[in-house]
Structure 1
């Protein structure tokens, strides 16, 4: 049984204002890779223009309110519903009404024939466990986008406290919804690719928080005809592929995760800062509270250094782990978006990256709801 992140895990001191100032000064914007969309015309998105169709879900168009500010997040006791699930999934995947296709042996499944919004609490418990086991699941032909925004938030709130992103766009009045939006005829990528060879940016969402996300929901609103897929990598299988000697060396090591660069990047573009940036220390290897599986927990977007190692040592070890996760095509899955798709994944055991690979100027519009989970912890090395 996994320990309670609040009751039995020793939480290091919160960084002091002086430490935060120093870290902010040292943080380089170049360490954070983000292909940011340009500002867009709300009127053109609603009405359509120059041959591009109107936005299908204008209620989800993003806004950035500069007057919206929030205090620092405080610890909370997360309850992991996946621990209560029947692992045969009778309420989630009834044999007479659902179709399940596994994309690879260890990561990725597609499910059709059920409606997430109609799940009972037992079905939600099983959803949390199923997603923890399969890492990422695409549920097809869902009505999620057609619910009211509050109904979608109420559903996802079962899985943890809603995270409010420090910089992302959100529908008016719903800062808990992280909007992923590239407007029709947005050509930002053309300038980006003048200095970059690809749009790949592996990460686990907001891993810099004291209690990063667990079960996470992303649903499609508008999409290009082709392109804009999302890649996922299995951080559990990545850990399992390492030699026992290397696994043992990683146990006990911790790394800093920083949200400073993300906030600095937003401010540098003249955008918002809802909350002062933070950095926190997490183990390189974390344990999932429902499955007991161990996974690698570092990512190049937000991890900065390994505590206690010299820079060259830290860089060498982190670079190996980043490459190992990114190059492991035999433990990755690619999700192709279809109308009505809701993708659910577990941020504790995966990393992902969006792909900006379409060139026809079509809109890409999604909404993410991001329940927070426990403080990352590790259990002893088992050999």
Structure 2
């Protein structure tokens, strides 16, 4: 997996140390084990270790270009990995909305899941948080808020990408108000309703995706089953991420 990933570019060690494989730092391990899972209820379905629609590393300035994911131990059902094309998401926006968001940016933050309002349909309920995620959330102060543009143009194709990661999104920069939140919700709702592909895992394939164009998510995992995945992080920097502007306190 590591050698194949390196064909597509240099690899980087994931900034969440809790996820890094100590024997092979180029790998992250993603596991679900009965009795030590986060338990979520979303879209009427309860299960373990669900994750909403997102791009990897949107909560840092330099977003990795891609990754390769494989299943070491898949589940009998559930635990599907979904993918959404953000070029399609942009192309299907009305023209007036395209013009409105052209120069806007979204602020992102790594934090506890209950701070995220976007990236899923309906209501999210968190019934239990695993020890793994508690350790991750203890490190969130190491990740300052960052900003990424809502729209960017792929240099290879000239096509525009609706560059929003619904999960990890906090607000529109400079629009921390009801109007801004309503606009961001409208865009995120559009994204999660864009046609998606959901991959049912076996141990016989690897999946590679462009993290600058494609969102992914994980459906709830059965509470009584183990799931074990490995992923690489292919390095890159599209050059438009930055620290978020600090909101000035009122005098």
Per the normalisation by structure 2, the TM-score is 0.76
Q: Secondary structure at the match of 1:249?
A: helix
Q: Any idea what the Cα deviations from partners look like across 1:274-293, whole Å, max 9, x if unmatched? A: 99213211110122232222
Q: Aligned pair in 2 of structure 1 residues 260, 278: CA closer, same or farther (>3 Å)?
A: farther
Q: Aligned pair in 2 of structure 1 residues 239, 196: CA closer, same or farther (>3 Å)?
A: closer
Hey, what's the Cα distance between the residues in 1 that align with 2:83 and 2:176? Answer: 31
In structure 2, the residue matched to 1:285 is: 151
- List 4+ stretches of structure 1 deviating above 3 A: 185-189, 195-200, 264-268, 270-275, 375-378
Tell me which of 162, 165, 170 is aligned to 2:15.
165
Q: Aligned pair in 2 of structure 1 residues 268, 215: CA closer, same or farther (>3 Å)?
A: closer
Summarize the alignment of residues 238-277 of structure 1 with structure 2, pairs less than 5 Å apart: 238-261=89-112, 269-270=134-135, 273=139, 276-277=142-143
Tell me which of 2, 19, 27 is aligned to 1:177.
27
Q: Secondary structure at the match of 1:205?
A: coil
Q: Aligned pair in 2 of structure 1 residues 206, 249: CA closer, same or farther (>3 Å)?
A: same
Check whether the contact 1:256–1:305 (CA below 8 A) recurs between aligned residues: yes
Check whether the contact 2:59–2:143 (CA below 8 A) recurs between aligned residues: no
Q: Unaligned regions of 5+ residues in structure 2, if any?
A: 116-128, 242-251
Q: Any idea what the Cα deviations from partners look like across 1:133-152, whole Å, max 9, x if unmatched? A: xxxxxxxxxxx4xxxxxxx1
User: Which structure carries more relative contact order (alpha carbon 8 Å, separation 6+)?
Assistant: 2
In structure 1, the residue matched to 2:40 is: 192
Tell me which of 209, 212, 215 is aligned to 2:63.
212
Per the normalisation by structure 1, the TM-score is 0.51
In structure 1, the residue matched to 2:222 is: 358
Hey, what's the Cα distance between the residues in 2 that align with 1:215 and 1:175? Answer: 16
Q: Secondary structure at the match of 2:28?
A: strand
Residue 203 of structure 2 is aligned to residue 339 of structure 1: yes
Q: Aligned pair in 2 of structure 1 residues 235, 287: CA closer, same or farther (>3 Å)?
A: same
Q: Aligned pair in 2 of structure 1 residues 351, 158: CA closer, same or farther (>3 Å)?
A: closer
Q: Secondary structure at the match of 1:201?
A: strand
Q: Unaligned regions of 5+ residues in structure 1, if any?
A: 1-143, 145-151, 379-383
Hey, what's the Cα distance between the residues in 1 that align with 2:135 and 2:70? Answer: 28
Q: Which has the higher helix share?
A: 1
Check whether the contact 2:110–2:140 (CA below 8 A) recurs between aligned residues: no
Hey, what's the Cα distance between the residues in 2 that align with 1:201 and 1:366? Answer: 17
In structure 2, the residue matched to 1:308 is: 174
Hey, what's the Cα distance between the residues in 1 that align with 2:99 and 2:51? Answer: 30
Q: Secondary structure at the match of 1:343?
A: strand
Hey, what's the Cα distance between the residues in 2 that align with 1:244 and 1:354? Answer: 31
In structure 1, the residue matched to 2:236 is: 373
Q: Secondary structure at the match of 1:192?
A: strand
Q: Which has the larger radius of gyration?
A: 1
Check whether the contact 2:5–2:67 (CA below 8 A) recurs between aligned residues: no
Q: Any idea what the Cα deviations from partners look like across 1:182-202, whole Å, max 9, x if unmatched? A: 12x34736x533x98444511
The number of equivalent residue pairs is 221
Check whether the contact 1:218–1:369 (CA below 8 A) recurs between aligned residues: yes
Q: Aligned pair in 2 of structure 1 residues 186, 291: CA closer, same or farther (>3 Å)?
A: farther
Check whether the contact 2:65–2:235 (CA below 8 A) recurs between aligned residues: yes
Hey, what's the Cα distance between the residues in 1 that align with 2:10 and 2:177? Answer: 36
Q: Aligned pair in 2 of structure 1 residues 367, 268: CA closer, same or farther (>3 Å)?
A: closer
